[in-house]
Amino acid sequence: MVKKVQAIPMVERLGLGEDIPCDIDLYEQRRMAGSFLQSPVGTPGGALQYVTGKPSKAPLPRKLVLEESKIKRLSPQEQDGEAVLKGSKKATAEPIAGLGEKDVLPQAYQLSYRAVKVDYKGPLVVGLSPTAQEIPQSGQAAMSGPVKISFTSTDADGVTSTTEATGTFRLLIGYGTGRAAFSASDFTVDSGPDLPFAKLSWSRLGICAPRIVSSGQGGTSFTSADGGRVALIDPGTDPAATMAFESSQFAASERPGPPGSVGGVFAIQGNAASVMGVFLSKDSP
């Protein structure tokens, strides 16, 4: 199956490894798709993972399959008026305020759990996967909604500051070309100093079954309010910089039909600055 999938031109263009084939059967069988930005507690930075799983009848996540761990027996518990999920591996998933509708999928959570004696945390976005027949083969779609970012920078004196901000994202999905473009702007600072940029753009993302991913390709740019380029995290000047984008399209509330929403996580990490983000659009029936 892997060799057959890798022979598809789109897979070759994306440069996907054998462990992440563009095989929608994986998501159809487990019924859920999503993404997770995993960070060891107390350690800066993070690694992106794709997520599958099975929902409960609610529907809410009942089982999550991360790339390296399985979290089982997730069940909602009322906490401050919200359905907080608790499960195996000391897992707790708390809804992220402002992302997603209450107690329904798709949903964005702040997930924490323990695996191999290490505590992990990070934003998780998960929802019901569309089927292969529901993903268009031509045309395009535009989806938008709230995005939350965390920007961390270190100055020449070694002083580190962090800004938490909320903005609006737009994702243009080209089903015919197999490419997508992401942008985030209109930020409001929730805490910390002002952001040094007004807009973040990410081009040449790839479509991989329900997923929209970077897979080591694509390009990012930061611009100011007047449209000028902001030299912030550039692999050309910062060879250590890494960029990763992992997201999924989710089934619409009215089925069968094309995907109704999209959500995911991203990370742009350099030596002196980093941007971590989580986003989730509103469902479009």
Instruction: Write the DSSP string, 161-204.
Output: EEEEEEEEEEEEEETTTTEEEEEEEEEEEEESSPPS-SEEEEEE
**pLDDT reading at 57 higher than 60:** yes
**pLDDT reading at 282 higher than 80:** no
Instruction: Write out the DSSP string of the chain.
Output: -HHHHHTSHHHHHHT--TTS---THHHHHH-EEEEEEEEETT-S--EEEEEEEEE-SSS-EEEEE-SS-EE---EEEEETTEEEEEETTTEEEEEEEEEE-TTSSSEEEEEEEEETTEEEEEEEEEEEPPPGGGS-SSSEEEEEEEEEEEEEEE-TTS-EEEEEEEEEEEEEEETTTTEEEEEEEEEEEEESSPPS-SEEEEEEEEEETTEEE-TT--EEEEE-TTS-B--SS-TTT-TT-EEEEEEEEE--SSSSSS--EEEEEEEEE-SSEEEEEEEEPPP--
pLDDT the model gives residue 27: 60
Q: Which residues contact 227 (CB under 8 A, 6 or more apart)?
A: none
Q: For the chain, which residues make up each domain, given as ranges?
A: 2-128, 137-280
Contact 39, 152 (CB under 8 A): no
Q: Give the residue, 272 or 193, on which the prediction is more confident.
A: 193
Alpha-carbon distances of 267 from 10, 19, 42, 220, 243, rounded to whole Å? 23, 20, 17, 11, 6
pLDDT the model gives residue 279: 98
Q: How confident is the model at residue 61 (pLDDT cuts 50, 70, 90)?
A: confident
Q: Over the chain, what is the mean pLDDT?
A: 82
Rounded mean pLDDT, 146-175 = 93
**pLDDT reading at 167 higher than 90:** yes
Q: Which tens digit of pLDDT belongs to each residue from 170-197?
A: 999 999 999 999 999 999 999 999 999 9
**pLDDT reading at 6 higher than 50:** no
Q: How confident is the model at residue 162 (pLDDT cuts 50, 70, 90)?
A: very high
Task: Specify the pTM.
Answer: 0.85
**pLDDT reading at 5 higher than 50:** no
Q: How confident is the model at residue 203 (pLDDT cuts 50, 70, 90)?
A: very high
CA distance 21 to 76: 32
Q: Which tens digit of pLDDT belongs to each residue from 97-154?
A: 999 877 788 999 999 888 878 888 999 999 999 988 899 999 999 999 999 999 998 8
Handedness of CA 182, 187, 192, 195 (dihedral sign): positive
The CATH fold assigned to 137-280 is Porin (2.40.160)
pLDDT the model gives residue 16: 29
pLDDT the model gives residue 222: 92
Rounded mean pLDDT, 18-43 = 69
**pLDDT reading at 10 higher than 60:** no
